Amino acid sequence: MTAPTTLSQDELKTLVGQAALHYVVPGEIVGVGTGSTVNKFIDALATIKDSIRGAVSSSEASTARLQALGIPVFDANEVERLSVYIDGADEIDGAGYMVKGGGAALTREKIVAALAERFVCIADESKLVPALGAFPLPVEVIPMAAAQIVRRFAAMGGQATLRCKDGQPLVTDNGQHILDVRGLSIAEPLAFESQVNQWPGVVTVGVFAHQKAHVCLLGTAQGVRTLQF
Ligand SMILES: O=C(CO)[C@H](O)[C@H](O)COP(=O)(O)O
């Protein structure tokens, strides 16, 4: 009898990164997210780069990786629509609603996702949750509004902290800051996203409900599970 093989989280990411190639439309430009799972997708995309026009990228990091592998990167303003946007998530629920922004790229991710007809989320099975809220919610904010946004989250039971890197506030690709909010219960993702989006100084909230996933390729011990929403 053969013992079951246990795949590492890294191997599960590779698996879903490769599986996502199935959703890439030949001859077109593909929307590309950010993160360690997307890096696996970019590596896989490089193997079929001659069959696509290029990519619209959601971060400086993904742009650098795409270009290093010889994949042309287009500005989002040059593109009217994309067939597909492929990205990871920090959490995804059974309806395709997600929390994103662990890699601080949430604003550009939402912008590129909004150009796409289909959002394909690639994730290992640890990301599938019954309800959003365990992962600290990333929110990109204009620095001068940070303190009042922290107070607004406190009023709804959340503890917001400024994300730092090397002892300094992290600065996003857009020159702004990130708050990570713990202790929230996000029972109604659509309403929550709309509410927080209206607060002055919020650039982007990391709940992706209006730009939810249509498909999730989930890496599991049994292989890639496809969830349709
Ligand atoms: O939202 C993101 C970056 O802003 C990523 O998609 C998210 O953090 C998941 O990353 P990883 O694939 O490394 O787990």
| 43-70 tens-digit pLDDT | 999 999 999 999 999 999 999 999 999 9
Q: Which two tokens stand for residue 175?
A: 């020159």
How do residues 194-224 score in pLDDT, each as one tens digit? Answer: 999 999 999 999 999 999 999 999 999 899 9
Comparing CA positions, the residue from 140, 137, 132 lying closest to residue 186 is 132
Comparing CA positions, the residue from 53, 31, 189 lying closest to residue 108 is 31
Residue nearest ligand 1's atom 6 by CA:
88
CA 42, distance to chain mean position in Å, is 14
**Dihedral pair phi/psi, residue 126, rounded to 5°:** -65, -15
- Is ipTM > 0.95 here? yes
Mean per-residue pLDDT for 154-163? 98
Fold adopted by 9-129+210-228: Rossmann fold (3.40.50)
How do residues 67-110 score in pLDDT, each as one tens digit? Answer: 999 999 999 999 999 999 999 999 999 999 999 999 999 999 99
Secondary structure class of 82 (helix, strand, coil): strand
Does 209 sit in the ligand 1 pocket, CB within 6 Å?
no
- Residue 8: count of CB within 10 angstroms of its CB: 9
Q: Which two tokens stand for residue 64?
A: 């650098």
Is residue 109 annotated as part of the catalytic site, yes or no?
yes
pLDDT score recorded for residue 6: 85
Model confidence at 3, pLDDT cuts 50, 70, 90, reads very low
Inform me whether the pLDDT recorded for 5 exceeds 80: no
pLDDT score recorded for residue 8: 92
Q: Find the angle CA(117)-CA(103)-CA(121) to the nearest 5 degrees.
A: 30
C-alpha 89/C-alpha 19 separation (Å) is 16
- Residue 201: count of CB within 10 angstroms of its CB: 17
> Within the chain, which residue ranges are assigned CATH 3.30.70.260?
137-201
Cα dist. 11→37, 94, 149 in Å? Answer: 10, 23, 38
Inform me whether the pLDDT recorded for 134 exceeds 50: yes
Q: Find the angle CA(211)-CA(216)-CA(221) to the nearest 5 degrees.
A: 150
Model confidence at 123, pLDDT cuts 50, 70, 90, reads very high
Find where tokens 């993904």 sit: 62
Percent of the chain surpassing pLDDT 90? 96
> Within the chain, which residue ranges are assigned CATH 3.40.50.1360?
9-129+210-228
- CATH of region 137-201, choose from 3.30.70.260, 3.90.1170.40, 3.30.420.300, 3.40.50.10490: 3.30.70.260
Comparing CA positions, the residue from 32, 38, 34, 30 lying closest to residue 83 is 30
Inform me whether the pLDDT recorded for 4 exceeds 60: no
Inform me whether the pLDDT recorded for 1 exceeds 80: no
User: What number does the ligand 1 atom closest to the CA of 106 have?
Assistant: 4
123 CA distance to ligand 1 middle (Å): 9
Is 101 annotated in some ligand binding site?
yes
